[in-house]
Amino acid sequence: MALDGYNDQTMSRKAMRAELLDAETELRLAYAWRDQRDERALHRLVTAYMRLAISMAAKFRRYGAPMPDLIQEASLGLMKAADKFDPDRGVRFSTYAVWWIKASIQDYVMRNWSMVRTGSTSSQKALFFNLRRVQAKLEREAAQRGEVLDQFQLRQQVATEVRVSLADVEMMEGRLSGSDFSLNATQSSDEDGREWIDALEDDSTQAAEAVELSHDAARLRGWLVKAMQALNARERFIVAERKLRDDPRTLESLGEELGLSKERVRQLEAAAFGKMRKSLESQSREVQHFL
């Protein structure tokens, strides 16, 4: 049931003019849809209870969502209920549909409340839709006893009342305390004012640090090149194949190519590293920082 082009007043008027189904007619339509996939029966059943969907959608207007969108979600929940309704269970369709309509609206409200996911578990949904009401009730009861609850006590009692953790209560309070704020908004009413994103700390490498790192890297490369030159051809080949390749070769494969045992290649590698270390240490004490 698409609602494009309809406003909430139009939908409400159409829903109020829809027929009221008695239990027998409702049951017959439900069987026709379930057993025969009679689309006319489905349309008649959904249309008759559209007033229920609109009534429930109106209860969620305080969350700031557009009423047409709430009605759209309510109608989707109503159609899901009609599709899954089992007339053999002996309950009225309206009783069954209420839960699907409410779930559909709640999911929509939570998806659109914030760009940050507000909650998905049943306990988080219970907090989202009941936090303010439970807080008001607890504060009212405390006032009747002549008590004043501080914020920590109030959060603890809310957690107990809703059966969730204290951390969940604190998280939800933070999510509900304000709407999303754009980092591209200006810090003042002046159109040329600086945007909030400009005030964020730049965690990229700063110019001075980049120059220092480049200088250190160049110096280290020079040390390594000189250390490699101190090796003979076979040692340089082993070090290059073992440490400078993206896919380092194994001692066994090098031994097969050089006609040596795996243990002999390991010994040559260790000897080469020893020579390189001595060369680097002789060049500067600073190299100790890099080893």
Q: pLDDT per residue over 61-91, tens digit each?
A: 877 778 888 898 999 999 999 999 999 988 8
187 close to 199: Cβ distance less than 8 angstroms: yes
Q: Which residue has the tokens 């680097």?
A: 280
For the domain covering 207-289, report its CATH number: 1.10.10.10
Mean pLDDT of the region 48-57: 90
- Note the pTM of the prediction, 2 decimals: 0.44
Residue 134 has pLDDT above 90, yes or no: no
Q: Which residues of 229-260 are buried (b: 16+ CB within 10 A; e: fewer)?
A: eebeeebebbbebbeeeeeeeebeebbeeeeb
pLDDT of amino acid 36? 92
Choice between 23 and 284, residue whose per-residue pLDDT is larger: 23
pLDDT tens digits for 216-272? 778 778 878 888 888 898 998 998 898 888 888 999 999 899 899 989 999 999 998
- DSSP secondary structure of 200-243: S---SPPHHHHHHHHHHHHHHHHHHHHHHHTS-HHHHHHHHHHH
Select the more confidently predicted residue: 166 or 255: 255
Q: Take residue 251 and report the two structure tokens written for it.
A: 């001692």
Q: Assess contact for 138 and 157: CB atoms under 8 A.
A: yes
Give domain 8-113's CATH architecture.
Up-down Bundle (1.20)
pLDDT of residue 17: 78
Residue 50 has pLDDT above 60, yes or no: yes
- Asked if 105 contacts 73 with a C-beta cutoff of 8 angstroms, the reply is yes
Residue with token string 């040390």: 223
Q: Where are the domains of the chain?
A: 8-113, 122-176, 207-289
